[in-house]
Chains A and B, each alone.
Chain A
């Protein structure tokens, strides 16, 4: 009983303490307004507001909250394309992430299987994968823009066809987030115990049966690790893609507010990006553990 209480206390209080320490550091670092009253050249008393502090343009926690209140408390508001509630922006970003991520999984998993199963396939494509893998999303995006400049894809029922910048963002998310899935699946396939393969051989299972009854279940834990890493990267990439394309979304909003000298909103965006990324990761590991125990 005592142990349980202690556990609860630690797992609640200590993280809060961590947050408090960070807020304090932020407060110390941030600038504040100082009212200075002095007599000017004409002999009049004037009051000027000056920014002072270690980093005087950095808004303090309080100022950040005051400036962001509107976006947080009306999370779904839409006042203009680039002036929406924070959840509305997040939703726009997540929609693109979901599409790119889906493509990454649909392409990445079979590629991973081929890499793991065929030595020839691995030898042929491994160098290319190793070269493409470290390429930054910022480098892929312009290529995507060029690729989809004149492509019109219209989903039935949708109000407007995909724009080039949307397609380029999806492309970038897909190609950047694919690699962890590809590589982890390949590792997982290679790590299948020979015993399982012998069972499949001795029972003379067909190729399809071997794939779905033996290979896929045996690889699943590795695949899910890949899926989780891929989702993390997809979320990183969408922010970068939106900043470059200026599309409405968390990343686009962040860049616009930077250009508008509205620094508090940058912090709001960073916190949102972090929280959403964390939530996605938790969600994936929840699904993962569900699958592993099944």
Chain B
């Protein structure tokens, strides 16, 4: 079976005064069509870098990314990106924000068809009543719903999610995870998500890719999550294997926190200097409160 997305020998290095700073190296990953893959790792380990390479916002220094048989070169609406901060344009309403993308992807569709697409996705994420409000007039959770609707409304070949729930409180996060998983099942999208929340990874994904600590992060281990779809949070929490899988992930993260730089206590495992020029999508990564998993 041919893979929908294939990353082979991806490396990313930024020039720095002390020679190139390697963020990611020897990164190999194959993702099947319709699969949900999560990248997990410590803050600053380069997982967001991988995502921005996938999004085309930066170019790999080595290796190639092939999506649906074509090499990824530069950004484009064939990949729906959900950013950590929703990245809505504040001068547009929720509707206009989604429409901006839809107009871009379906230039030949009629006006009413395009409007229908926007309305459809905004209602699915639960914003039927708040469609014509501006981002400043809705809550952070609602804004991220718009972000999700925008990504799906593009009818992309795949979804890229960069810690989409990192800035939300835990209740909203659980709600939105459900919204996301429902939409994902309905549209059968291939998805790659970055997170540092172990529970989120287990709930959403088919496979969890654990990344070693940066600099020069690689794929450390890949965990297959055996839970059947459709998933229900409570069922998964009650699943006999859940504790074991969770333990596996946390253990990996702990080991890598200690192995790479034994001199430092875990709290300082990813100093900012490790990633001198992380692309902007990863900017606020270290600012997010560490989730249960990372506070090892």
Contact = CB atoms under 8 A, between A and B. Distances in A.
Nearest to A194: B280
Interface residues of A, number: 15
Interface in B106-161: 154
B104 A217 contact: no
A107 to B, nearest CB: 25
A215 to B, nearest CB: 11
Contacts of B56: 201-202
Interface stretch (B75-83, B194-202, B213-221): B75-83
A202 B56 CA distance: 8
Contacts of A199: 87, 89
B280 A198 contact: yes
Interface in A199-258: 199, 201-205, 209, 213-214, 217-218
Contacts of B76: 202, 204
A195 interface: yes
Interface in B9-65: 55-57
A196 interface: yes
A195 B28 CA distance: 28
Contact of B83 (A198, A204, A205, A209): A198
A195 B75 contact: no
Contact of B87 (A198, A204, A209, A218): A198
A200 to B, nearest CB: 9
Interface string A175-200: 00000000000000000001110110
Contacts of B89: 196, 199, 213-214, 217-218
Contacts, number: 46
Contacts of B280: 194-195, 198
A149 B87 CA distance: 54
Nearest to A205: B104
Given A194-B280, A194-B283, A195-B280, A202 B85 contact: no
B8 interface: no
Interface string A10-39: 000000000000000000000000000000
B57 A198 contact: yes
A199 to B, nearest CB: 5
Contacts of B154: 203
A194 B58 CA distance: 13
Interface residues of B, number: 20
Contacts of A194: 280, 283
Contacts of B55: 202
Interface in B210-253: none
A202 B75 contact: yes
A195 B104 contact: no
Contacts of A201: 56-57, 75
Contact of A202 (B79, B91, B283): B79
B81 A202 contact: yes
A203 B77 contact: yes
B101 interface: yes
- Max count, chain A CB within 10 A of own CB: residue among B79, B91, B281, B283: B91
B292 interface: no
Interface in B259-288: 280-281, 283
B57 A195 contact: no
B295 interface: no
Contacts of A195: 83, 85, 87, 280
A204 B104 contact: yes
Contacts of A198: 57, 81, 83, 87, 280-281
Contacts of A209: 104
Nearest to A196: B89
A46 to B, nearest CB: 78
B68 interface: no
A204 B91 contact: no
Contacts of B100: 203, 205, 213
B57 A204 contact: no
A279 B57 CA distance: 47
B75 A204 contact: yes
Contacts of B79: 202
B99 to A, nearest CB: 11
Given A194-B280, A195-B83, A203 B57 contact: no
A76 B87 CA distance: 55
Contacts of B77: 202-204
A219 to B, nearest CB: 11
The listed residue with most B CB atoms (<10 A of its CB), out of A195, A196, A213, is A195
Contacts of B283: 194
A196 B75 contact: no
A75 B83 CA distance: 61
A17 B83 CA distance: 56
A203 B56 CA distance: 11
Nearest to B101: A203
Nearest to B156: A202
8 contacts: A196-B89, A198-B83, A202-B55, A205-B104, A209-B104, A213-B89, A217-B91, A218-B91
In the complex, the 4 A-B pairs of residues with the closest C-beta atoms, listed nearest first: A194-B280, A217-B91, A195-B87, A201-B75
Interface of A: 194-196, 198-199, 201-205, 209, 213-214, 217-218
Given A202-B55, A202-B76, 16 more contacts: A195-B85, A198-B57, A198-B281, A199-B87, A199-B89, A201-B56, A202-B57, A203-B101, A203-B104, A204-B75, A204-B104, A213-B89, A213-B100, A214-B89, A218-B89, A218-B91
